[in-house]
Amino acid sequence: MFEQRDFGKRPDNTLSIYIVKNKEGEWLGAIYLGINKITSARASYVFDDAKLKSLAKNHPFHFFVKYETFKSRDKYINQYNKAIKEKNYLFSSGPGRWDGTFNIIILYSDSTNTSVSAIKIPESKFSTFTDSDSYTFRYEFDEDNRDYKKSFKIAVDCIQNVYDHFNDAVFKKVDWRPEPMFMTSFWRR
């Protein structure tokens, strides 16, 4: 039984909670040891971590963690497909949805005078060669965007194919940063 409470400062010592079914892990929340807090995406709760410590002592779970990096998403997927067939494989977490991020610079004008109006420009261009599940746009309110009033820097998180196919004479793409391809896997001893 948890008592719902909100709290501000979160300590570094956390334990993630996953539900694992058919070797697929879904993040549920985090336990903050030492301050008796547990969080989910919806709320924070108070609980007695002595019960958790007692469970861990009486029912130890022996596993090891393996960290791997890959040069491409395909290599990650191949390794993941091999791993899930192994008897002692428990679950893993891997790279995010996107292959990387780049920026598009949109010049300020009478019709493009807000970040929302600036984002609409690349949306119309991207829709001509890919679907909206292949990318997302972000306007980051950072020093570049705050201090420079003549343009908007729009961040595009996307799959590699979107970056490769976006070529525009007016709106230049800059600063491609690939997402690290990794897998953190958990294995029964």
Q: Please write the tens of the pLDDT for every residue from 20-62.
A: 777 777 778 888 877 778 887 778 888 787 887 888 889 888 8
Q: Tell me how far apart the alpha carbons of residues 20 and 82 are, in angstroms, rounded to a whole number.
A: 18
Q: What would the mean pLDDT of 126-154 be, rounded to a whole number?
A: 80
* Greater pLDDT, 103 or 24: 103
Handedness of CA 48, 50, 56, 58 (dihedral sign): negative
Dump pLDDT digits (tens) for 113-125: 888 888 888 888 8
Query: Do 26 and 147 contact (CB within 8 A), yes or no?
Result: no
Lowest mean pLDDT among 18-32, 79-93, 129-143: 18-32
* Greater pLDDT, 142 or 106: 106
Query: CB-side exposure of 41: number of CA atoms within 13 Å?
Result: 4
Highest mean pLDDT among 123-127, 137-141, 180-184: 180-184
The predicted pLDDT at position 1 comes to 41
The residues spanned by each domain of the chain are 3-95+182-188, 100-179
The predicted pLDDT at position 177 comes to 93
pTM of the model: 0.63
Q: Is 182 helix (H, G, I), strand (E, B) or coil?
A: strand
Token pair in block for residue 88? 């002692």
